[in-house]
Amino acid sequence: MWERMDEEKRPDLKDPVLLVSLSTSVQQYKVLYSQARELGKFMLKKMEFEKFATLYSSSMPPLVAISDEGIIRLYSASFYHHPGERDLVLLAGDASPVDEQYEFSESVLKYAHGLGVREVVSVGTRWTEEAASPTATPRVKGFATDEKGVKDLEGWGVEITRDEPAPYFASLIIALADRYGMRGYKLSVDHGEPIPHPRSVIEIMATLQKIMGFRVDTSELIGIADKMAANLEPGVGNDPSQRKSGIYG
């Protein structure tokens, strides 16, 4: 696996927690499973973050991004720092890995461990056979690396996911976190809400605020959700692709 970590600076962090907020770039799944990417974009827009490192990897899709000016760049994932009651390290970017997902997860965890991170929260979309209602308020669901983590999630109002597979990077990185002495939490919502998933982002954000103690105004997302709901007839699904079975977390 080829990879490169470009570190601009090494921040001095206070009891940091890592939030992994990457989504698939596979075209047929983007509409269904981009909740984590939308969350990361919203947080970067509404909160003060400083980017301090960027990870490039052959695990990423073999694509380059082309700007409006015709200039290209490699796909990447970047680490951002937000100070608070607990310092927040956000991993956000173009895509989650499509290949060598174990190796990519370990690269992220090793770097985070070096920063002093002891807890990891990963955001994704739960595997489900049936899509949720496009206008329903999503319920945040999740699992953790140990019993203490499960009790923590229950205390934050998260519905515990039990006895089912949890595929791909967003879940895999949580399973591997324990090997680096980190407690891991996975937060998910069922797919079904049309992109850009404002209700899903609102609910996940509410849970993250309980975990990490920051505050973000989500009124902008509420307005988007209300407009989207007004355009959807009751009982009528959205794009047919969103009613397909899905497995990309």
Tens-place pLDDT, residues 67-81: 999 999 999 999 999
Tens-place pLDDT, residues 166-222: 999 999 999 999 999 999 999 999 988 889 999 999 999 999 999 999 999 999 999
Residue 241 in this model has a pLDDT that exceeds 70 = no
- Listed by start position, the domains of the chain span 3-243
pLDDT band at 249; cut points 50, 70, 90:
very low
HEC readout, 76-91: CEEEEEECCCCCEEEE
d(CA 221, CA 237): 21
d(CA 8, CA 17): 20
pLDDT band at 32; cut points 50, 70, 90:
confident
Out of 117-126, 214-223, 236-245, least confident range: 236-245
pLDDT band at 238; cut points 50, 70, 90:
very low
What percent of the chain shows pLDDT beyond 90? 79
Select from 118, 113, 174 the least CA-distant residue to 142. Answer: 174
Beta bridge pairs of residue 190: 126
Query: Considering the entire predicted model, what is its pTM?
Result: 0.90
Question: The domain at 3-243 falls in which architecture?
Answer: 3-Layer(aba) Sandwich (3.40)
d(CA 134, CA 181): 39
Q: How many CB atoms lie within 10 A of CB 217?
A: 8
d(CA 77, CA 138): 27
